[in-house]
Amino acid sequence: MTIAKQTVLKSFAAVVHDHGRCVTTALAKAETACATAGKRLTPLRRRVLELVWGSHLPVKAYDLLAILGREREQAAPPTVYRALDFLQQVGLVHRIASLNAFVGCGEPLQGHVSQFLICTQCGTVAELANLGLSTSISASAEALGFQATRQTIEVEGICKHCRKRGAQAVQ
């Protein structure tokens, strides 16, 4: 079976990189995406998105809540869940079902299929947009008379950085 051409939307970032750039880019794209969709990126929603992009690690809802609570004096679960729901609808963040956590989407401007690679060592999540893979899965379902409308594809394993590190010295 051939490996389909795939786009890496959010790769395993080098351990050290200019992450400020990641955040800036993500927020700029978010503005555009919301404007295009006719949705409002309010300060709260923008801040939550910024926090999600705080790293390339998946973020838990209650961690966001704790940070917001320090910043705003008033923050309850609905505060963060509503923002996250909105961001998901616009396609700015994805929810990782197997982790109950959220990650920013690297390419929110067009709808796309997505698959996630989750490193169990460093926790980093990479997002793929392998259309061939997605199509293959849908085809497998269709062969059974099942019409697929949504896919949850989450793969756990060890990322290339951690493999390299592991080869040098098992800590």
Map the footprint of DNA across residues 97-136, applying CB under 7 A.
100-101
Residue whose pair of structure tokens reads 């067009």 in the numeric block? 110
CB of 8 to DNA, least distance (A): 26
**According to the binding rule CB under 5 A, does residue 19 interact with Zn ion?**
yes
**According to the binding rule CB under 8 A, does residue 138 interact with a second copy?**
yes
Contacted by 128, from Zn ion, DNA, a second copy, none: CB < 5 to 8 Å by type: a second copy
Measuring CA to CA, which residue among 59, 49, 45, 44 is closest to residue 123? 59
Residue 43 pairs with which residues in a beta bridge?
A: none
Measuring CA to CA, which residue among 152, 111, 122, 151 is closest to residue 58? 122
Measuring CA to CA, which residue among 163, 143, 151 is closest to residue 94? 151
The amino acid sitting at 149 is: T
Contacted by 60, from a second copy, DNA, Zn ion, none: CB < 5 to 8 Å by type: DNA
Binding site for a second copy (CB under 8 A): 1-4, 6, 8, 11-12, 97-98, 115, 117, 119-120, 126, 128, 130, 132-133, 135-141, 143-160, 163
